[in-house]
Amino acid sequence: MTTVRREAFGRMPPEKGGEEVEKFVLQSDSVRVEILSFGCIITTLETKDRDGKFSDIVLGFDTLEGYTGKHPFFGTVVGRVANRIANGKFSVDGKEYQLFINNGPNSLHGGAKGFDKVLWSAEVLPNGVRFFRLSPDGEEGYPGDLKVWVTYTLSGRELAIKYQAQTSKTTPISLTNHSYFNLAGQGSRDIYDHQISIEADSYLPVDDTQIPTGEVAAVQGTGFDLRQPVELGRHLQKFHLDGFDHNFCLHQGQDRRLVARVFHPPTGRTMEVHTTQPGIQFYTGNFLDGSLKGKGAATYPKHSAFCLETQNWPDAVNKPHFPNALLHPGEEYNHTTWLVFNTA
């Protein structure tokens, strides 16, 4: 049985409209999650350890001011296109589009004001909440009026995030949630004692601006082979890696499949990621630097959290041999990701 509660969380600053931001609390016997109408942000996600004790396992802020200020997309839904588009450029039907450049020479996570920085309208469901917004034609340089729905539902130990969209003109789209996890509890120093596995035979090498080179490389015999669980700290040392910020190529298909699993031996917490998406970006918080004051005055140093962002492959709109990134009028973009929490 899931209960759903809605309450006020704060107001947008006057220069950003001054509207009220709501918080939605979804609670089952084993999971409690709080989500904002601003950016569809997961601000809190509490799960049990093997002794039955709840801890909040996502990074974030106590107040709205943290989220309206500059931060590395804690808990947000990002779009229209998650990840990077090379030089912020792409062509559709012979027309070139130029996006806002906000990450070196590239466009990242939707541009200057992506889906993470806007208010969504909300509808309470029996076991969750559905958010909606219309992204107007030309917003951040993207073509077409895009109607977007993001639905969070909680059932027992499983949090489902469903993304749907329809467009008036052909447009690239790739939506994801950018939560930062630490199964020891948010504010814990690092994630080196976490064990991770990712069901992927290949990954995408990147250039020095984090854009995929176009090669689809086999993981076999490399530090990117995570098909069997590895302890993260030891694995990074063994392969002399500074961390991960790479797309892993998943087995293609529209059906739900298990794509990643994380286990934290000291607490017994496990998290499984299931999805219909073609890729998953594994990111180990390499750009966290301890400068942000998070929940309960915690600081978040490098490698103090990981992200597992289910999505299309980065820069797919410019790489014809990558999975299709375009949504056409009359079609529906429809993907779901499930996070399943257990103890071992």
Buried/exposed code over 229-265 (b: 16+ C-beta within 10 A; e: otherwise): ebbbeebbeeeeeebbbbbbbbeeeeeeeebbbbbbe
Is 177 annotated in some ligand binding site? no
| DSSP codes, 211-243 | -B-S--EE-TTSTT--SS-EEHHHHHHHTT---
**Catalytic machinery residues:** 178, 309
Backbone angles phi, psi at 133, to 5 degrees: -155, 155
Residue 179 labelled as part of a binding site:
yes
84 is in an annotated binding site: yes
Q: Is 87 annotated as a binding residue?
A: no
Q: What count of other Cβ atoms lies within 10 Å of the Cβ of residue 344?
A: 10
| CB atoms near residue 122 (< 10 Å) | 18
Cβ atoms within 10 Å of 133's Cβ, excluding its own? 19
Asked if the bond preceding 80 is cis, omega within 30° of 0, the reply is yes
Question: Residue 66, SS3?
Answer: helix
Tokens matching residue 189: 């120093």
Rounded Cα distance between 207 and 285, Å, is 19
* Cβ–Cβ under 8 Å, residues 87 and 141: no
Among all chains, which residue has been given the structure tokens 């949090």? 159
Residue 192: count of CB within 10 angstroms of its CB: 15
Tokens, residue 221: 């015999």
Please answer whether residues 37 and 30 qualify as being in contact, where contact means their C-beta atoms are separated by less than 8 angstroms. no
Q: How many CB atoms lie within 10 A of CB 145?
A: 16
Task: Give the residue ranges of the annotated binding site for beta-D-galactose.
Answer: 83-84, 178-180, 245
Task: Give the residue ranges of the annotated binding site.
Answer: 83-84, 178-180, 245
